[in-house]
Amino acid sequence: MLHWPKHGHRTFEAAIYNREVRALVKENQSHSLFDDHWADVHIQDVEARDEDEARNTVSERYPPEDGFVIEALYPVCV
Protein backbone atom coordinates (compact mmCIF):
# COMPACT_ATOMS: atom_id res chain seq x y z
CA MET A 1 0.00 0.00 0.00
CA LEU A 2 1.52 3.29 -1.06
CA HIS A 3 -0.81 5.72 0.67
CA TRP A 4 -2.20 6.44 4.12
CA PRO A 5 -5.68 5.15 4.98
CA LYS A 6 -8.60 7.56 4.86
CA HIS A 7 -9.50 9.36 8.08
CA GLY A 8 -11.21 6.94 10.46
CA HIS A 9 -9.94 3.87 8.61
CA ARG A 10 -7.17 1.43 9.38
CA THR A 11 -5.21 -0.88 7.15
CA PHE A 12 -5.66 -4.62 7.59
CA GLU A 13 -3.82 -7.49 5.95
CA ALA A 14 -5.85 -10.50 4.90
CA ALA A 15 -4.26 -13.88 4.22
CA ILE A 16 -6.45 -15.59 1.61
CA TYR A 17 -6.37 -18.85 -0.34
CA ASN A 18 -8.86 -20.93 -2.30
CA ARG A 19 -9.72 -24.30 -0.71
CA GLU A 20 -11.06 -25.75 -3.98
CA VAL A 21 -7.90 -24.87 -5.89
CA ARG A 22 -5.76 -26.23 -3.04
CA ALA A 23 -7.61 -29.56 -3.09
CA LEU A 24 -7.34 -29.85 -6.88
CA VAL A 25 -3.63 -28.98 -6.93
CA LYS A 26 -2.98 -31.75 -4.39
CA GLU A 27 -4.55 -34.12 -6.95
CA ASN A 28 -2.44 -32.65 -9.81
CA GLN A 29 -5.51 -31.01 -11.32
CA SER A 30 -6.46 -27.41 -12.03
CA HIS A 31 -9.56 -25.37 -11.28
CA SER A 32 -11.64 -24.32 -14.27
CA LEU A 33 -11.71 -20.63 -13.23
CA PHE A 34 -8.89 -19.90 -10.79
CA ASP A 35 -5.15 -20.27 -11.36
CA ASP A 36 -3.16 -22.83 -9.41
CA HIS A 37 -1.39 -20.07 -7.47
CA TRP A 38 -4.59 -19.63 -5.43
CA ALA A 39 -3.65 -22.85 -3.63
CA ASP A 40 -1.09 -20.68 -1.83
CA VAL A 41 -1.84 -17.91 0.64
CA HIS A 42 -2.04 -14.40 -0.80
CA ILE A 43 -1.75 -11.26 1.30
CA GLN A 44 -4.21 -8.49 0.43
CA ASP A 45 -4.38 -5.07 2.07
CA VAL A 46 -7.77 -3.60 2.85
CA GLU A 47 -8.81 -0.28 4.38
CA ALA A 48 -11.69 -0.43 6.84
CA ARG A 49 -13.01 1.14 10.03
CA ASP A 50 -12.72 -2.14 11.94
CA GLU A 51 -12.04 -5.85 11.56
CA ASP A 52 -15.67 -6.71 10.78
CA GLU A 53 -15.80 -4.21 7.92
CA ALA A 54 -12.43 -5.49 6.64
CA ARG A 55 -13.67 -9.09 6.71
CA ASN A 56 -16.87 -8.12 4.86
CA THR A 57 -14.91 -6.20 2.22
CA VAL A 58 -12.56 -9.14 1.63
CA SER A 59 -15.49 -11.58 1.49
CA GLU A 60 -17.21 -9.46 -1.16
CA ARG A 61 -14.09 -9.46 -3.35
CA TYR A 62 -13.15 -13.10 -2.60
CA PRO A 63 -16.47 -14.88 -1.92
CA PRO A 64 -16.46 -17.91 0.39
CA GLU A 65 -19.01 -19.57 -1.91
CA ASP A 66 -16.29 -19.53 -4.61
CA GLY A 67 -13.96 -21.42 -2.27
CA PHE A 68 -11.99 -18.50 -0.83
CA VAL A 69 -10.88 -18.73 2.78
CA ILE A 70 -9.64 -15.90 4.99
CA GLU A 71 -6.90 -17.69 6.89
CA ALA A 72 -5.93 -14.62 8.92
CA LEU A 73 -6.91 -10.98 9.21
CA TYR A 74 -4.86 -8.55 11.28
CA PRO A 75 -4.32 -4.80 11.56
CA VAL A 76 -1.15 -3.31 10.15
CA CYS A 77 0.75 -1.22 12.65
CA VAL A 78 1.80 2.14 11.24
* pLDDT attached to residue 41: 98
Contact 42, 17 (CB under 8 A): yes
Model confidence at 2, in pLDDT bands (50, 70, 90)?
very low
- pLDDT for 27 equals 96
pLDDT digits (tens, 9 = 90+) for 25-75: 999 999 999 999 999 999 999 999 999 999 999 999 999 999 999 999 999
Closest Cα partner for 63 from 32, 28, 34? 34
Domains along the sequence of the chain with CATH: 10-75 (3.10.20)
